[in-house]
Each structure stands twice: as C-alpha cells, then as structure tokens.
Amino acid sequence: MDRREFIEKGVLAAVGTTLLGACASDRQAKSNTQTDPAKMKQDMASHSFDSLEEKVSLLGYGCMRWPMIDDGKGGQIPDQEAVNDLIDKALVCGINLFDTSPMYNGGLSEKATAAALSRHPRSSYYLSTKLSNFGPENASREASMRMYENSFRQLQTDYIDFYFLHSIGSRIEDFQTRYIDNGMLDFLVEQRRIGKIRHLGFSFHGNKKNFDYFMSLHEKYHWDMVLIQMNYVDWKYATLNNKNATNAEYLYGTLSSMGIPVLIMEPLLGGRLAKIPEPLVHKLQERDPRRSVASWAFRFCASHPGVLSVLSGMTYMEHLEDNLSNFAPLEPLTVEDVDFLQDIAKIMMEYPVVPCNDCKYCIPCPYGIDIPGIFNHYNKCVNEGSIEPDSQDPAYRKARRRFLSGYDASVDPLRQADKCIHCGQCIEKCPQEIDIPHELSRIDHYAETLRRESGL
C-alpha cells in the first residue's frame, strides 16, 4: 500500500474526512490566535491511554534540550528558573507528558525536570524516562540497576508512567548485553507488574530487520508503546541518509497494524525541519502564510491516528508557544497537505546536508571536537545557499566569506574539523550512524579550499 493509499484508507477511515479533508478556506477561517491558557488546556489535542486517569497530551515535552547556563566552574547546568517557567507554562496550557533520560543535558535533565514538576501535584503530569545503559561500563546488572533506581530519586517519584529501553535497534548484540544477559528486561517486566513502571516500551533506531525482531518479542514482553523517529523527511527517506535506518512509514504502519501506540521523537529532525532551505520556506509560506515552518512538521506527525504523543524539545518560550498554537487545537493536515510535504521532502533530499539532528550523543569527543556545532554550521550554510559548488558562480565569493566567518564565530577554532584525529570513537555513539570522521574531513577539506582561495 503506498502512503497516499495508506492515509486515505487508514487516517481518513479513522478520523473521518472532516479532519484531514478540511479545505484551504476552512483552514483560513480557523486561524489559531488563542492565548488564554485555560482555553488552550481545554483545546489541547489528547488521547486516552490504557487505564490512565487523564488523557495524554498529543504534544509531549522532550526534556533533552533545556536551556543551559554556566555553573561558575567552567561547566554548564540547566537554567532552573527558565525550566520552571517553561514547565509551568506547559502544564497550565495542557501539556502533561514530560520525557527525559539519565543522559540528557549531560545527565542533569531528570533532576532539573523534577525540580520544576515537583512544584505541581504528581497527578497533574506523566513522567517518561529511559534505561540509558549505553557502553560496557553501564550495561552490567549492577550499573543498570543503579541507573534505574537513581531515576526514581532524581525524578522524586515512586512510580514512572512510561519507561523505555533506550535506543535499541542498531545492533541486536547490544540489546542482548544491555537487557537480556543481565536480566534487566525480565526485571523491568516485573516492575511493571507491581506498578513501579506503569508502561514499558522501547525507543528505536535501526534497520527493518531489527525492528521486525523486536516486534516478534511483543508476544513475550508486551510492548505498551514504542518511541520512533518520525517526520515528513524520514517518512520515506530515512534509509537514503542511513542505510541502517528504517523509513518511518514502515515503523508507524507496523505499529499501527499491531495496535501498539506510537510516540514520536525527532518530529523536527533536531531542528533541521525548522531551518529548511530558503526556496522551500517560500513554498510553505505560499501555501499557508499563517504557519511557521516548524508547524508543518509537527502537524504531519500529529495528524496520524495511533500517535499517542509527539515529543518536542522546546528550549525557549517561543518554541513552546509556537507548538501550543499547533496543538491547542490541532488542525490536522489534509491528504493534499501530506502530498505537498512529501514533495518538499523529496526536494530536500537533494541538498547535501549532514543528517545530524543535534542529539549530542557523540560528545564529548576526547579531542574536544565540537561535532554537532560543525555540522550545524555546515547545514545552515547549505540551507541558506552559502555552499556554492561552482567557483565560477558570481555568488561564490560572498558565500565563501559567509561560510568562513560564520565557521569561526560559531565553532571555536580549537574545536574545528581539522583537529579531528580520526580515532573513530564517536562513530558508534551516533544513532543516525553518520560516518562522523568522514563528514568532518569533507567539511575540513571544503573549509581549507575556501581559506586557500581567500589567501587566509
């Protein structure tokens, strides 16, 4: 079944043509200028789930990108005052799912999230976290148990609503080591039985064969929900960037057909779908001038039935407010909108960006390389059209200047691509399976060529 057929048969059948069938003039009339928190809370799209008393908000708070400030000792800590403001606003406007992990924000996310949430009744929000026992030093039974128990302490709670095996799928052997050989999965199933964990699932990055394997375990472990990477680019093109990935269309379709609720990560591809190439921004604006670029990506995810929550890492108040305007209330995409976004995705695949979603799992690099910073700068220049392949192009000199000055401004010269020694230690940490040293070499070569031509 192709995507259009799937949406027409699945989505329209599930939600009725009045939702996805809304015409452009209907949409124009429904411009969302809502700012009253109580009304937003009432309008927030949400779903009932299992035996949970309150519906789960379709917009979930991804707590991996809290704003950070200097800790006064040369490090960084979450800006607790800002986190409190963001969480207060989210709760009052109807967001009630908060997803974190022991490894987010340099290991400080659970604590910062709980510090803000504990100022509110425990029954007013759902907590989601993960067993992030990556690496041999964390995968033993003892270390995994410590991580599990520590999450309860950090989150100041005696039960967790959603608990995930974190990022399984790239290698079955790792899953075996992290969850089977050490008995952790059996332990977690028991924790679910006694109510310490209310729902158990996994987050997935990997290929189709591995996904099918985890689905085959459903009968034994009963996955309550699965967290997948889904957005309008990965819907059909995830495997184009990473041959060891799976297109979201397949992941979502399989889970839907098995009746397993879907949670979505990376709806914005780490922010890349909020910073798309300029010509594509114009196309989106032409189609609906009221909508932000990011809103298209969120509504793509939220318009699919069977999606329990779309997790978004909203670092600043303006991100939160823009998202609230998309979900409270949600105005689902039409089938034509979805087709239009697929055309945009197809064009986007022609741009030579590095498929980095800024998750920061690869840092710190032992040699100090600012891997995500370098990729972010390069991608930004690609999207702005500052990377001109042809040195005869009249815009080439301007583009060259923009790339070089922006590079030094955004990435400390001591942490740039030329300092990478190709040790390869970062490769395994990247869920997008980017060949990081290779990409750094490519960017370094490009920067060096520009410098040489500029006489720098």
Task: Tell me which residues touch ligand SF4 (CB under 6 A).
Answer: 356-362, 365-367, 369, 371-372, 375, 420-426, 429-430, 432, 434, 436-437, 440
- Cβ 262 to ligand SF4, closest distance in Å? 21
Q: Which is nearer to ligand SF4, 352 or 424 (CB)?
A: 424
For residue 269, give the 3-state DSSP assignment: coil
Q: Which is nearer to ligand SF4, 97 or 268 (CB)?
A: 268
Q: How far apart are CA 341 and CA 335, in angstroms?
A: 10
What does the block give as tokens for 192?
């679910």
What does the block give as tokens for 123?
């029954």
Q: How far apart are CA 369 and CA 412, in angstroms?
A: 9
- Cβ 353 to ligand SF4, closest distance in Å? 11
Task: Determine contact, residues 51/302, Cβ cutoff 8 Å.
Answer: no
What is the sign of the dihedral through the CA atoms of 211, 229, 416 and 103? negative
Q: Which is nearer to ligand SF4, 27 or 429 (CB)?
A: 429
Q: Which is nearer to ligand SF4, 85 or 418 (CB)?
A: 418
For residue 345, give the 3-state DSSP assignment: helix
- Cβ 134 to ligand SF4, closest distance in Å? 12
What does the block give as tokens for 233?
């680019």
- Cβ 174 to ligand SF4, closest distance in Å? 16
- Cβ 53 to ligand SF4, closest distance in Å? 36
126's enclosing H/E stretch is: strand 126-131
- Cβ 48 to ligand SF4, closest distance in Å? 34
Q: Which is nearer to ligand SF4, 344 or 365 (CB)?
A: 365
What does the block give as tokens for 385?
């059209």
First-to-last alpha carbon distance for the chain, in angstroms, is: 55
Q: Which is nearer to ligand SF4, 140 or 425 (CB)?
A: 425
For residue 61, give the 3-state DSSP assignment: strand
- Cβ 368 to ligand SF4, closest distance in Å? 8
- Cβ 302 to ligand SF4, closest distance in Å? 24
- Cβ 323 to ligand SF4, closest distance in Å? 22
For residue 288, with 0-12 CB atoms within 10 Å meaning exposed, 13-18 middle and 19 or more buried, which class applies? middle
For residue 216, with 0-12 CB atoms within 10 Å meaning exposed, 13-18 middle and 19 or more buried, which class applies? exposed
Q: Which is nearer to ligand SF4, 199 or 360 (CB)?
A: 360
Q: Which is nearer to ligand SF4, 331 or 358 (CB)?
A: 358
* Tokens 């490894």 found at: 103
Task: Determine contact, residues 189/126, Cβ cutoff 8 Å.
Answer: no
Q: Which amino acid is at 225?
A: M
Q: Which is nearer to ligand SF4, 240 or 421 (CB)?
A: 421
What is the sign of the dihedral through the CA atoms of 241, 246, 248 and 250? positive
Q: How many Cβ atoms are within 10 Å of 38's Cβ, its own excluded?
A: 10
Q: How many Cα atoms sit within 13 Å of 123 on the Cβ side? A: 3
